[in-house]
Amino acid sequence: MKQHFDIVVVGAGPAGLNAAQAAAREGATVAVLDDNPRAGGQIWRQGPGHPPQVPLQGLLAVLKTQTNVTLLPSTRVIAPLSPRGLLLESAEHGGVSISYDRLILATGARERLLPFAGWTLPGVTGAGALQALIKGGMPVRGERIVIAGSGPLLIAALATARAAGGRVLAVVEQASAFEVARFGASLLGEPAKLRQAFTMTRGFAGVRYWTGSIVRKAHGDGRVERVTIRRGEHESTLDCDRIACGYGLVPNITLAQALGCAITEAGEIVVDDEQRTSVDGVLAAGECTGVGGAELAGVEGEIAGLAASGVSANRTALQAQRARWRRFARRVETAFALQTAARTPPDDATLLCRCEDVSFGEVRAYPDWREAKLHTRCGMGACQGRICGAAASLYLGWQAAAPRPPFSPAQIGTLMAISEEPLPAE
């Protein structure tokens, strides 16, 4: 199966869906692919008992009326193909190759997980992962939950867990009380965000909100039973059934790197005012160009869709919105920047790579990611270093090696198709 589209959008979150809508409105044939079975990305994730949110409903309703849009759910990019093609694996169709005139990367971001003693116990997840699991149908009613890490994602996880009947004991934020308070005060300039924050937290009624604090250790026999939290110079232990711990987000740039797009030192795809990358015919929008929330992602997606379709209309209003939400994103980044305690590596016995059971003590002897990988298999498991690579980058200053296809585990039949298609020159 091989198809050609004017524009292919990778990612069906706010950026990707807005890009698709804008491009299709101008008459382009558009394919939107996403590895989830339902559109929405992480921020608008659907699931049993979690119907599409209002913004997502509106976008999907419009896209369904646009006959030049093809949605490809449960579809992953396995490898880029030349010229201007992608090898995909679809749950419905198996191996598929498609070609395009323009490509829009709306690959979003993933959660940053920072290891701590006991983080591999059943019952420990990321904060965003807890949201995804609940929306996917995992029951948490009556469970005692501790949510930890940093950033607005903790508040979103709190709201989701509460709505599902979970008993959230504490939200453990690594940022200082001063920075959190200053950020809260800045929301006075964004009334909609302030209302959203208050609705999610309910004023933190019945919940400990500990700033300047981090999770040090999860305890339990076979699964989580307790958590030790470092609060300044003191430690507190809480009995709990689940720990959800995430330290912000990391842009997903695997495909962009493989295509040769320029990447900033912060790990974001470099784009110009039209959301164009350094590679001809490739644009990018949303969290992969810098974490900034749904509003920013949506505006960037619309700009990318219009640019990809060749429209030369005035985009002053859209650019003004983008500037506004980028300023808000910078405030979030400043307020929740990781402090010394969060940046301090755990002890040598703590696992860094849980796929291959490699501890910090085993990798410290090596100067970089490549050497550690060669000698310990660190980063060679199912996640291909996406989790341990981010942790090693933060703790040890290592730069992860450029990704190589296949980017995800794939069927033999799909991989055989690579030999029948040209790969991009390195």
Q: pLDDT tens digits, residue range 320-367?
A: 999 999 999 999 999 999 999 999 999 999 999 999 999 999 999 899
Q: 128 is in which domain, residue-wise?
A: 113-247
Residues 237 and 152 in one domain: yes
Residues 68 and 129 in one domain: no
Is the predicted pLDDT of residue 405 greater than 90, yes or no?
no
Q: CB of 267 within 8 A of CB of 386? A: no
423 in any annotated domain? no
Residues 369 and 358 in one domain: yes
Identify which has the larger pLDDT, 421 or 380.
380
Q: Which stretch, 41-45, 288-292, 308-312, has highest mean pLDDT?
A: 288-292
Average pLDDT, the chain: 91
- What is this structure's pTM? 0.93
Is the predicted pLDDT of residue 425 greater than 60, yes or no?
no
Residues 117 and 236 in one domain: yes
Tell me what pLDDT residue 327 has: 94
Give 244's pLDDT tier (boundaries 50, 70, 90): very high
The mean pLDDT of 58-82, rounded to a whole number, is 92
3-state secondary structure of 56: helix
Encode pLDDT of 125-178 as tens digits: 999 999 999 988 999 999 999 999 999 999 999 999 999 999 999 999 999 999
Sign of CA dihedral 218, 224, 229, 234: negative
Residues 287 and 243 in one domain: no
413 in any annotated domain? no
Residues 106 and 119 in one domain: no
Tell me what pLDDT residue 424 has: 62
Tell me what pLDDT residue 423 has: 56
CA angle 391-393-398, nearest 5°? 135
Express as a percent the part of the chain with pLDDT over 70: 96
- The rounded distance, in Å, linking the Cα atoms of 283 and 105 is 6
The mean pLDDT of 113-126, rounded to a whole number, is 96
296 in any annotated domain? yes
96 in any annotated domain? yes
308 in any annotated domain? yes
Q: In CATH, what number is assigned to the domain containing residue 228?
A: 3.50.50.60
Give 255's pLDDT tier (boundaries 50, 70, 90): very high
228 in any annotated domain? yes
Residues 135 and 185 in one domain: yes
Residues 379 and 327 in one domain: no
Residues 142 and 173 in one domain: yes
The mean pLDDT of 89-106, rounded to a whole number, is 93
- Residue 47 — φ and ψ, nearest 5°? 170, 180
191 in any annotated domain? yes
The mean pLDDT of 1-15, rounded to a whole number, is 93
Q: Helix 153-163 and helix 191-201: axis angle, to 10°?
A: 50
3-state secondary structure of 104: strand
Cβ burial of 173 (10 Å; 0-12, 13-18, 19+) is buried
Number of domains composing the chain? 3
Closest among 253, 232, 224 to 130, alpha carbons compared:
224
18 in any annotated domain? yes
